[in-house]
Chains A and B, each alone.
Chain A
Amino acid sequence: DQQVKQNSPSLSVQEGRISILNCDYTNSMFDYFLWYKKYPAEGPTFLISISSIKDKNEDGRFTVFLNKSAKHLSLHIVPSQPGDSAVYFCAASHISGSARQLTFGSGTQLTVLP
């Protein structure tokens, strides 16, 4: 059972436009959400996070929105740049025993066209 779902395997946008990557989750216990970015032949790198007490977090060109009632979060990239082309993973966490575990989605390949 996939608790974190990224239903769009790929997304193409034009340079300078907005990229919107979506993520849905099913576990209402999740209380912390993150986005990681992955380039080919590299490991994922942290991009931005949001706690369930907020509905928006912004860091430069990247903004994450959280809609708890819909169990949905999205990552907005404005303006998109060719260097943003990568696989984006959504991840969520909840307390499990004495530790927190991250559950990742399957990723969305973003291609920003020049």
Chain B
Amino acid sequence: DSGVTQTPKHLITATGQRVTLRCSPRSGDLSVYWYQQSLDQGLQFLIQYYNGEERAKGNILERFSAQQFPDLHSELNLSSLELGDSALYFCASSATGTVTEKLFFGSGTQLSVL
């Protein structure tokens, strides 16, 4: 158990809809990362937050947004969903947000857009 909690584990929705993925980091970790893993693809970095502030942005679509709340949990919002958004979405956390630290990953949210 990594200590990172992601909910829900599975999500099935239709094109055009909006969903919210939730992540609770390990106790004490200030930084949260979101990654997307599509079929046969590596993990694509989406966005990183540190202590409530956006720290780094990757290939995150404009239809996607995220935030980190004062209690350090994070939410990833995906809107106007398309079939191609179907993927496994991982959240990870680390203590201070430097990439030389180990990242601790949650078990992911499997999103299926039908």
- A43, A45, A98: which has the most chain B beta carbons within 10 Å? A43
The answer to whether B42 touches A105, judged by C-beta atoms less than 8 angstroms apart, is: yes
Please state if A43 and B105 are interface contacts (CB–CB under 8 Å): yes
Closest to B35 in A: A104
* Contact (A99, B55) CB under 8 Å given A45-B2, A46-B102: yes
Scoring B residues 31 to 59 as 1 if CB is less than 8 Å from chain A, else 0, what string do you get?
Answer: 00001000011111100101000011010
What 7 A-B pairs are tightest by C-beta distance, nearest first? Answer: A43-B105, A100-B99, A99-B56, A104-B42, A46-B102, A104-B43, A106-B42
Interface residues of A (CB under 8 A from B): 2, 4, 6, 9, 32, 36, 41-46, 49, 51, 89, 91, 93, 96-107
Chain B CB within 10 A, most for which of A41, A42, A98, A99: A99
Q: How far is the CB of A35 from chain B (nearest CB, A)?
A: 11
Which residue, B41, B43, B44, B45, has most C-beta atoms of chain A within 10 A?
B43
Number of interface residues of B (CB under 8 A): 27
> Is B103 located at the chain interface by the 8 A CB criterion?
yes
For the complex, give the distance between the alpha carbons of A96 and B59 in Å.
Answer: 13
A98:B55 contact, CB within 8 angstroms: yes
Q: Tell me the minimal C-beta distance from B74 to chain A in angstroms.
A: 15
Give the residues from 5 to 50 in chain B that come closer than 8 angstroms, CB to CB, to chain A: 35, 40-45, 48, 50
User: When chains A and B are docked, how far (Å) is the Cα of A98 from the Cα of B35?
Assistant: 19
> Is B58 in contact with A45, judged by CB distance below 8 angstroms?
no
CB-CB under 8 A for A101 and B105, given A96-B56, A106-B42: no
Chain B residue at minimal CB-CB distance from A51: B100
Asked if A4 and B56 make an inter-chain contact with CB atoms under 8 angstroms apart, the answer reads no
